[in-house]
Structure 1
Amino acid sequence: MMQMYKNTKLFYRSIGTGNPLLLLHGFLESSSIWDPFVEELSKRRQVITIDLPGHGKSGSLEEVHSMDLMADAVFNVLQQLKTEQVTIIGHSMGGYVSLAFCKKFPILTKGLVLLNSTPEPDNEDRKKNRDRAIKIIKNNKESYVSMAISNLLSEKNRTCFPKELEKLKNEALNFSEDGIIAALKGMKIRTDLTSTLTLYNGPKHIIAGMSDPILKFSDIQTIAEATNSSFLSLDGGHLSFIENKRELIELMHFID
């Protein structure tokens, strides 16, 4: 289904009824990453998936897709669906958007799950990497997409999921250059939302890969303890929806 927001199309799906669960994908991904999960989860509840601005079948809104802007886009879709409260699972960038949504719309947030994600902002090195990525994309988007996605798996899993990685890469190559860059700029300027997670009183969980090449496992474990969030670890890297699919489906059944 399509929803217009700021004269731009946002693609979303809603399957099943009752106890809404919103699944938000990460950077260089789309709502299709949740396809293996939706059929089973929707047997028990309503499952909503959205292509965030500049990703999948959704258009780009502005030059910079801040996490607040993407949270507003999510809110617009939920209004269309007349959803009053929702549990959110956000992968990586989707986790950043989930926290921004929670800060702006706490009453609407029934539960929160950060999957391979963090409430902390980019450090200075990470910000410089965002700038370098933007330059690479402008010169060779295909090379950047291939490199960026391959580097998300744990070292031992990099040769284990060739079909899944190829699907991710092929889909990301169809995203506009402007949409990819807008997300990079938005992630670069995101603020520290650790206090938002700490103050949130609903069910909150952090799921981390023990061999995540992007987020240091021990740091995420410390954040979970500091924010009083339930902490769950998986034997994999940054793409738990691929590397730990069966375990993740089981966890999703018991998050609220």
Structure 2
Amino acid sequence: MDTKVVRVGSTEMSFIDEGKGNPILLIHGFAGSKHYWDKIIPQVANEYRVIALDLPGHGESGMSKNNYSIEDMAGTIKELLDQIGLDKVTMFGHSLGGYITLAFAELYPQHLNGYSLVHSTANPDSDDAKEAREANAKKIQEEGAEPFIEGLSRKLFSPENTVENSTEIEETVKIGMNTIAEGLVSALIAMKNRPDRNHVLEDTELPVLLVAGEKDQIIPAEKTFTVTKPNIEKQIIEGAGHMSMYEQPEELVKVMKDFLSKI
């Protein structure tokens, strides 16, 4: 898969652009990159145009400032879409990418055909979670990223899959270690400060897909399935933790394509 780079403001943004057809945009999670979707892209690009980007400070994308809010990242994505000439997309956001997807849906709903939260939530952080974000940001600043990334990567997968997915866990560690410390800290603070966005789900008339992992240790299904409406579809990926794109890619592709076929 070829990587492309465009300048968005004073920042270089890296992304994969594969396939033809109705465009979909894939947004990775915290400490991830566009390569989180490597098992998904070939299976979806045979029917759709698939764009998978690196968020600021992640992968091969730069940062034009020290701190990006969730809303800033949504705005950067809007600028990227403008640069490559896309007016409307269907957006899939994994974890942190889901928080950004909801912000995008609130700020730029006219530029979406529909959207999906993949192992994500519209809820804000609890007080305990906010304290943990602050502590992790401080730890990264003082000790570097490696100890934090090693611990995080194992929690992303279902405990039952750690042996079977050992190669994939190593891959997420490598991807995480390619995230600059400033990018990690910025994203942690952005997640800590994000607001409750359940009202976005409650108010939207767009098609929405909520995807949860049966064994997710980070965001359990009840935190994903917070709003029930006729236009909101809910799917649980059996046997998956927080990383169904690695743990159950065929099932995730099936769920994604079924949702896309209805838009």
TM-score range, shorter chain: over 0.9
Question: Does structure 1 residue 61 correspond to structure 2 residue 67?
Answer: no
Where in structure 2 are there 5+ consecutive unaligned residues?
Answer: none
Letter of the aligned partner of 1:119 in structure 2?
A
Q: Secondary structure at the match of 2:145?
A: helix
The CA distance in 1 between the partners of 2:185 and 2:237, in whole Å, is 30
The CA distance in 1 between the partners of 2:229 and 2:83, in whole Å, is 36
How do residues 193-232 of structure 1 correspond to structure 2 at under 5 angstroms? 193-221=197-225, 223-225=226-228, 229-232=232-235
How far does residue 216 in structure 1 lie from its aligned partner after superposition?
2.7
Is the CA contact 1:31–1:56 (under 8 Å) kept in the aligned structure 2?
yes
The CA distance in 2 between the partners of 1:7 and 1:98, in whole Å, is 22
Residue number in structure 1 paired with 2:155 = 151
Residues 1:229 and 1:4: Cα distance change in structure 2 (over 3 Å)? same
Give the TM-score normalised by the residue count of structure 2.
0.93
Q: Secondary structure at the match of 1:179?
A: helix
How do residues 1-256 of structure 1 correspond to structure 2 at under 5 angstroms? 1-138=4-141, 139-221=143-225, 223-225=226-228, 229-235=232-238, 236-256=240-260
The CA distance in 1 between the partners of 2:95 and 2:21, in whole Å, is 26
In angstroms, what is the RMSD of aligned CA positions? 1.4
Residues 1:127 and 1:228: Cα distance change in structure 2 (over 3 Å)? farther
Is the CA contact 2:32–2:179 (under 8 Å) kept in the aligned structure 1?
no
Where in structure 1 are there 5+ consecutive unaligned residues?
Answer: none
The CA distance in 1 between the partners of 2:229 and 2:89, in whole Å, is 24
Residues 1:227 and 1:122: Cα distance change in structure 2 (over 3 Å)? farther
Is the CA contact 2:8–2:83 (under 8 Å) kept in the aligned structure 1?
no
How far does residue 226 in structure 1 lie from its aligned partner after superposition?
6.4
Is the CA contact 1:206–1:224 (under 8 Å) kept in the aligned structure 2?
no
The CA distance in 2 between the partners of 1:39 and 1:105, in whole Å, is 28
The CA distance in 1 between the partners of 2:151 and 2:69, in whole Å, is 24
Give the TM-score normalised by the residue count of structure 1.
0.95
Is the CA contact 2:30–2:187 (under 8 Å) kept in the aligned structure 1?
yes
Give aligned pairs, total.
255
Q: Secondary structure at the match of 2:38?
A: helix
How far does residue 228 in structure 1 lie from its aligned partner after superposition?
5.7
